[in-house]
Structure 1
Amino acid sequence: MVDSNPVPSSSPGFGTPAFPFRKSRPSALPTRTSILPILLPPSTLRPVAFRTFTRKHNLTISSSALQTLAAFVGKHCGSGWREEGLAERVLDEVAKGWKKAGGGVIVDEGKGASLRAILQTLEGNMSGGRVVPGKQTSADEVPGGTTSPGQGSRRSRTETPLSATIAPEGEDLVESPDSTSHPRHWIRVIEAFEIPRLTYNADKKYFEVARSKPTLFPPSSQRTNLFRDRYNIVHQRLLRHESFQLPSRSSGMLQQSSSFSAFSQGYKLTPIANLLGRNGTSHLILGLLSVSPTGDLTVSDLTGSIALDLRHARMVPGDGAWLAPGMFVLVDGIYEEEENIRGSTLGGNAGVGGAIGGVFMGVSICGPPCERRETSLGMNNQQNGREVSSSGGLGWIDFLGVGSERARGPRMRQIEAQYLQDAHGSAKSGRRLRVAVLGEVNLDNMRTFDALRRVFGVYNDLRLEERPSIFVLTGNFVQKAIINSSGQAGSIEYKEYFDALSLTLSDFPTLLQHSTFIFVPGDNDPWSSAFSAGAASSIPRHAIPELFTTRVKRAFATANSQVDPTRSSEPPGEAIWTSNPSRLTLFGPVHDIAIFRDDISSRLRRSAVNLSYGTDDAMGGEDVNAAPKDISPLKFSDRASDQSLQAGTNSYIASSATLFARKLVKSILDQGNLSPFPLSLRPVLWDYVSSLQLYPLPTALILADPEAAPFCITYEDCHVMNPGRLVPDGELPTVRWVEYDVLRNRGKVKQERL
């Protein structure tokens, strides 16, 4: 290549050389500077690591990780790690890479991301002890092996929408334009057996992944750990409540003259073992409500148990929730030693099973207060998900395997916002994300097929943007349990019912092409009903076997074959058969919808404790006519944001169905568990109890209970929906279901005439 300013001559008269020098061009890549490695002790690097990881990124680094980083910095930064600030820049890139990989709050190998993979990627982008910005890594080089959030393991890693980037500070991940083409790419159904098995460590105040392999026959210690873990979660949640926070000295001095000074000082829990020797004193205890072998009520915590006398106790708030054995309760009362109790058999089992002598005379009782989702995750603003609360939280924990709230929540909300906008940046009013929930779809009832045609016909006549993207069909799919005896329906008849369903679905091919159908089984569906005969079987339970679903899947394959795959980027419609319970997520951790099919309201009414004042027996059914007087300062806010519920409460004319729904929702969400019952009443697989946890609260809960009337109620920002029965019994020929708007987080009960 000839120079742009060549030398005119090589004559000696001009003093020019025979071969002119060419102009030097800058190199595209910076030259590598040799670094002399040094031996850097971890204790010397600790102050810089604390300033970078803890103060700047709110991360905690373990000793083993600090030793690994000290060896890496000493090798690649050399003697200039302190004077030139090379170590701080490298550690900052490592911290950002750890967050992008979805790692936890503790930086350590095997804590949600691979520290060695991050350092290996960083090593190829270093020159002269500095990180060269702007170099991208491929999808296969993502630290921690992040997979696609749209379809989980069913999609290859080359389809991953997120690409990890080692970028300068303030630069975010870059999404491909096609990754936000349709929201159904971000739908993921998580079975109960795929949810991460997390246990709460009370010492570290953090959730840890269980290292043991799950099995259907775990050791007997798992039965005790089941309730211990539930207690630790409720206890740490309760201590963060504002009623249990100790006020500052200045605020306490200002409120000394107030009549509510006792309430302003905050409540304090007393362990049950500390009641010994404190006869006649008032205490507040938190424990598990249970029934002793003698038939008496007891309350237990990690230190012991004590007999409970609720003959003079009041519910706070009055008739606000059900309290049954197997639930955790807060009891405010007075402890009486055993020798001071006359004419009573309570407290006679001192020393048996950790029980202490005496009895606890309850004055008021309630469930533990609920905690909002953004409070649990430590987020100040749930809409943008960017502001981090100073109270900490569990935002870095991946509870469902789709990414943590702090690591992926902000970016997923950006993708959701891009979907709601057109090419010019204006909002599209027609774009919605709707879910149609159909409950108790009994396929052995001929009226059910007429109801399904009516529902599908309503949505088939709408525009594509107004149709539901997801249909959720919950069992029981037959009215009687599937067992091959006693003349009842067997497996052959059960398969014929789903073959008839496939014929009904084939009449609406456009719905099959543009929607995702989710089927959730009930207690009468196989194979659990083969040995339970329709009774309450152990949960979680597996999906309906593939033996019965072949015709339905064939109907979807036939409908999708009529669509040109190059016409749009929308994924094909599909039928998903999932477990009970299960989770439905949209846009990663942004929208978390729990699905559970159970007759929980009837079980609560049968086993609830009777708190009627003046009765001698504390066990029995509910008394809705009891006077709801609050004789204790123990009060917690019951914030329900449903408009119809607020209007009824303010005017004191709320219907009985609304009050029943409010009572049911509060009973479940306050416990933070889908099955707050003894194992004898509702069996639970011990190693999969994490799938029943409602902590942190999901954004929505589909509680399919055919024994309760349909409702849609929001409690503590968690929207709870019950579709009821698809075809109500003993009424006019009607069909009922729930239509849920995901973006607005609101549902609506819909009804049509058959």
Structure 2
Amino acid sequence: MSRAAPSGNSRTAPIFKLPETPTAANPIPSSSPAFATPAHPIRPFNAAVAPPKTSILSILLPPATLRPLAFRTFTKKHSLTLTSTALQVIATFIGRYCGTGWREEGLAEKVLEEVAKAWKARSGGVIVDGEKSELKDILNNLEGSMSGGRVVAAREPSRQNSLVLGSSQNGEVSHTRLGLRPNPLGREGSQSSLALSNLEVEDEEEESGMRDPRKWLKIIGAFEQPRLVYNVAKKHFDRDPNKPSLLPPPSHKTQVFRNRYNLIHQRLLRNESFQAPTFETSKPSLRRSSSSLATAQQSYRLTPIANLLGRNRSSHMLLGLLTISPTGTLAINDLTGSIALDLTHANPIPEDGAWFAPGMIILVDGTYEEDDNMTGGLGGKGGVGGTIGGKFIGFFIGGPPCERRATTLGLSGKTGEGDVTAGGGFGWVDFLGVGSERAVGFKMRKFEQRSIRAPLSEEGGLGRGRMVIVGEVNLDLPNTLQALKKLLGLYAAESEEDTPMTFVLMGNFVQHAVMARGGSGGSIEYKEYFDSLASTLSEYPTLLQSATFIFVPGDNDGWASSFSAGAATALPRKGIPDIFTSRVKRAFAAANAEAEKEKGAKSDGEAIWTTNPSRISLFGPTHEILLFRDNITGRLRRTAIKFSSKPELSDDVEMMNNPPPAPSTPHPASEPPFSPLNNQITPPNPNPNLNTTTDDEITTNLHASRKLVKTILDQGYLSPFNLAHRPVLWDFTSALQIYPLPTAMVLADTEAPAFCVTYEGCHVMNPGSVVAPGRRGVARWVEYDVRGKVGKVREALF
């Protein structure tokens, strides 16, 4: 029995009625009327009706017309800077896909918003450059999400965002977004944001596993750190485009000094003592009257060395590199020239408060004197780039003042934990490759508060938020392993929830350069020392299962000691090869396997053999801990210059707490450069049966530690020496820069007393040797509290 074909007037359920369209009557009849095939196929009730596509009439949008809107979105809202090429590319894209409704309907503003978010998600920097491929990739990905001039998120069968790239294979989608990490959506129909920061963490990650602070720990080697160079023209940091090499051309040696000078020069000009006021009433000079009004209106100015020509017997302040000339006399160099330096009558500022050695960048205030008897040549009135005739008589010498980390990054708040201000600073610069302070700092501090800010034990213990730092672990000494067993036994006795998250063991791991046949043995004996260390660590499986052990080499460790024979090796240097440390890594693998077998949970304790120097990043840019092993004190004593005169203590000469002298103290009285509350020299648990330290020795040790810390941090460089005394790898000197100041710094120096000193907000620690010198059966190390940002020298008998 044949059925009649349904007509438009037939009685059907409302859910099956077709939408009324202007072309309701279809002139084309059904192809199979005998089988009652409807003229208009019935769509399923759950099928999504695709919206009609609106045709967009492309226009030619001038970049100048789009500039105000782009400036409001990129600069005002997202603190980004558009170049002219980038504006041209974006204007062409908006004119093509938004058409005439780019302004009236607000289509351009939404496109600009998505492009800005995607650029920040890729961490492309503060400057949006149209010549880079990142912007083109963002626009190409955004093109697939444009519909009717609007940005829409098309729903795909894989439930992924329309900006996801890649093909589906066997039901799996290759998650490659706009610089985003894979984030599969568990709920059907969920849509992710079109632009997220690459370090933003979703709510699902705030589980118990992610609350372990060790999950946010990252060790960055010197050869992995981004190579940044300060651009004087842009007043910003740029990535070095050149490929690094261990044997670079000679021009890179000059670039090492140029980069150091430019970095300190811009830091110095940011200091309030070198910022000229609106008006002045007196000539700037180091000798000032006691009048507070006159003092507040003075500032210091730097004079290039080339500008000294023709200014005989005039007072100036120079900033330059202290060197030894070919004639054997002292000289000071800057980017414009060189001049002989006479420090016969110079007074260091502060008195005996810092070291001054050739290879350091210093500030000298004095008078220039021409030599009328010399004409031409190196001793005459040379031009720019050569040696200036005459000499510069220095009266005061000091190091460039240090700059706090909060000031460098432009952070607000007294402790530098506020938001990034709109003023100066380099908050957008990613110095370590873990995200900039401006992008992820606030969110990382929130996770830090949830992880380690609250006490993890009822007794108020420090818990997981601790780092144990052990220095000079000489494995060829039997007492070292005994001291190490005592140290590890104290922490193994604690509960697993309160185990320190990191143990840092620093070299030298042997007393002599055994790789160069120094002392005794060779490579075979060197490996046996680490095998004995692996046996010692295996006795404490709970520590190996729940902590990260970091090993920093010294100058006597392989392979560098095989050709240096114990002398100073080139910095930075690589870690100890795996051929010697295989047994230690096997001990960690066995401990993790045992924990997984007994507890059923996977353990992730690990041993990391990093470079010297290296950096520890905790919660992104929130905590930066610098690790460096070098006997700097002895090298400073051998190479530093000696002053014959003593400073005259009078009211007419006032120096700021930080050299060089300044008219006003750059830090309030409540915030001295050295924080007295965080200075620790005396042993916390002295034993009356041992040789105790007298008060005079404690004062001397405190002065020596402050002198060392001030010298290094003011220079902002880990190796402020002549390249003949401490060679460096020219293409990797950016890893030696201490700018911005780290949150904490481990300066392992066995020739200096063990100390914990805070200077300009940077907590510097020296663990010394694990076996306390001159004290029998005493193990010494430093315990650093990440929550309080303070270290403590600890001792124990073994």
TM-score by length of 1: 0.86
Q: Structure 2 matches for 1:20-39, cutoff 5 A? A: 21-22=14-15, 32-39=53-60
128-137 or 491-500, which deviates more: 128-137
Q: Any conservation in 1 of the 2:339–2:391 contact (CA below 8 Å)?
A: yes
**2:500 aligned with 1:473:** no
Which of 405, 416, 425 aligns to 2:437? It is: 405
Who is 1:640 aligned against?
674
**2:150 aligned with 1:130:** yes
**2:207 aligned with 1:187:** no
Who is 1:496 aligned against?
528
How far apart, CA to CA, are the structure 1 residues paired with 2:402 and 2:551? 30
> CA offsets per residue over residues 100-129 of structure 1, 9 Å max, x none?
322211112587x92233333433444332
Which of 604, 607, 611 aligns to 1:579? It is: 611
Q: Structure 2 matches for 1:290-689, cutoff 5 A? A: 290-339=323-372, 348=379, 351=382, 354-381=386-413, 387-420=419-452, 431-485=463-517, 488-564=520-596, 572-613=604-645, 631=653, 634-635=661-662, 639-643=673-677, 645=679, 655-689=699-733
Q: Any conservation in 2 of the 1:364–1:631 contact (CA below 8 Å)?
A: no
Q: Any conservation in 2 of the 1:422–1:428 contact (CA below 8 Å)?
A: no
How far apart, CA to CA, are the structure 2 residues paired with 1:606 and 1:548? 34
Q: Any conservation in 2 of the 1:673–1:693 contact (CA below 8 Å)?
A: yes
| Runs (5+) with no aligned partner, structure 2 | 1-8, 20-44, 155-159, 166-173, 186-190, 283-287, 656-660, 667-671, 683-694
Shift of 1:17: 6.5
Shift of 1:421: 7.9
**2:305 aligned with 1:285:** no
Q: Any conservation in 1 of the 2:117–2:196 contact (CA below 8 Å)?
A: no
Q: Any conservation in 1 of the 2:59–2:96 contact (CA below 8 Å)?
A: yes
Q: Any conservation in 2 of the 1:273–1:356 contact (CA below 8 Å)?
A: yes
| Runs (5+) with no aligned partner, structure 1 | 1-15, 148-156, 615-625
SS of aligned partner of 1:339? coil
Question: Residues 102 and 28 of structure 1: is their aligned pair in 2 closer, same or farther, counting only changes over 3 Å?
Answer: farther
SS of aligned partner of 2:556? coil
Which of 235, 238, 241 aligns to 2:271? It is: 241
Who is 1:225 aligned against?
255
Who is 2:306 aligned against?
273
How far apart, CA to CA, are the structure 1 residues paired with 2:61 and 2:583? 66
Equivalent AA in structure 1 for residue 318 of structure 2: I
How far apart, CA to CA, are the structure 2 residues paired with 1:83 and 1:736? 72
Q: Any conservation in 1 of the 2:277–2:299 contact (CA below 8 Å)?
A: yes
How far apart, CA to CA, are the structure 1 residues paired with 2:79 and 2:570? 41
> CA offsets per residue over residues 270-299 of structure 1, 9 Å max, x none?
111111111111111111111111111111
Number of equivalences = 707
Q: Any conservation in 2 of the 1:37–1:77 contact (CA below 8 Å)?
A: yes
Shift of 1:81: 1.1
692-701 or 372-381, which deviates more: 372-381
Q: Any conservation in 1 of the 2:380–2:390 contact (CA below 8 Å)?
A: no
How far apart, CA to CA, are the structure 2 residues paired with 1:652 and 1:751? 21
Q: Kindly, what percent of the aligned residue pairs are identical?
A: 53
Q: Any conservation in 2 of the 1:102–1:408 contact (CA below 8 Å)?
A: no
Q: Any conservation in 2 of the 1:133–1:167 contact (CA below 8 Å)?
A: no
How far apart, CA to CA, are the structure 2 residues paired with 1:750 and 1:197? 36
Equivalent AA in structure 2 for residue 351 of structure 1: G
Who is 1:120 aligned against?
140
Who is 1:197 aligned against?
227
Question: Residues 570 and 585 of structure 1: is their aligned pair in 2 closer, same or farther, counting only changes over 3 Å?
Answer: farther
Which of 48, 63, 73 aligns to 2:84? It is: 63
Equivalent AA in structure 2 for residue 51 of structure 1: R
**2:739 aligned with 1:709:** no
Who is 1:7 aligned against?
none
Q: Any conservation in 2 of the 1:243–1:263 contact (CA below 8 Å)?
A: no
Q: Any conservation in 1 of the 2:213–2:452 contact (CA below 8 Å)?
A: no
How far apart, CA to CA, are the structure 2 residues paired with 1:207 and 1:566? 51
582-591 or 556-565, which deviates more: 556-565
Question: Residues 700 and 525 of structure 1: is their aligned pair in 2 closer, same or farther, counting only changes over 3 Å?
Answer: same
Question: Residues 207 and 656 of structure 1: is their aligned pair in 2 closer, same or farther, counting only changes over 3 Å?
Answer: same
Q: Any conservation in 1 of the 2:455–2:463 contact (CA below 8 Å)?
A: no
How far apart, CA to CA, are the structure 2 residues paired with 1:348 and 1:243? 34
How far apart, CA to CA, are the structure 1 residues paired with 2:524 and 2:596? 36
How far apart, CA to CA, are the structure 1 residues paired with 2:615 and 2:428? 19
Q: Any conservation in 1 of the 2:780–2:794 contact (CA below 8 Å)?
A: yes
Equivalent AA in structure 2 for residue 608 of structure 1: A
Q: Any conservation in 2 of the 1:181–1:419 contact (CA below 8 Å)?
A: yes
Q: Any conservation in 1 of the 2:781–2:794 contact (CA below 8 Å)?
A: yes
> CA offsets per residue over residues 166-203 of structure 1, 9 Å max, x none?
2699xx86342346242222211111111111111111
Shift of 1:385: 5.0
**2:68 aligned with 1:47:** yes
SS of aligned partner of 1:562? helix
How far apart, CA to CA, are the structure 2 residues paired with 1:315 and 1:285? 15
Shift of 1:317: 1.6
Equivalent AA in structure 2 for residue 220 of structure 1: P
Question: Residues 167 and 557 of structure 1: is their aligned pair in 2 closer, same or farther, counting only changes over 3 Å?
Answer: closer
Equivalent AA in structure 2 for residue 115 of structure 1: L
Shift of 1:680: 0.8
> CA offsets per residue over residues 215-238 of structure 1, 9 Å max, x none?
111011000000001000000111
Equivalent AA in structure 2 for residue 732 of structure 1: R
Shift of 1:408: 1.6
Q: Any conservation in 2 of the 1:222–1:686 contact (CA below 8 Å)?
A: yes
SS of aligned partner of 1:595? strand
Tell me how large the CA RMSD over aligned residues is.
3.6
Question: Residues 159 and 418 of structure 1: is their aligned pair in 2 closer, same or farther, counting only changes over 3 Å?
Answer: farther
Question: Residues 423 and 701 of structure 1: is their aligned pair in 2 closer, same or farther, counting only changes over 3 Å?
Answer: closer
Equivalent AA in structure 2 for residue 237 of structure 1: R
Equivalent AA in structure 2 for residue 313 of structure 1: A
Equivalent AA in structure 2 for residue 697 of structure 1: L
How far apart, CA to CA, are the structure 1 residues paired with 2:201 and 2:582? 41
Q: Any conservation in 1 of the 2:679–2:758 contact (CA below 8 Å)?
A: no
Question: Residues 736 and 302 of structure 1: is their aligned pair in 2 closer, same or farther, counting only changes over 3 Å?
Answer: same
How far apart, CA to CA, are the structure 2 residues paired with 1:506 and 1:28? 65
SS of aligned partner of 1:238? helix
Which of 786, 795, 798 aligns to 1:742? It is: 786
Shift of 1:499: 0.6
Q: Any conservation in 2 of the 1:307–1:347 contact (CA below 8 Å)?
A: no
Q: Any conservation in 1 of the 2:466–2:785 contact (CA below 8 Å)?
A: yes
Shift of 1:420: 4.2
How far apart, CA to CA, are the structure 2 residues paired with 1:224 and 1:562? 54
Which of 203, 207, 211 aligns to 2:237? It is: 207
Q: Any conservation in 1 of the 2:679–2:755 contact (CA below 8 Å)?
A: no
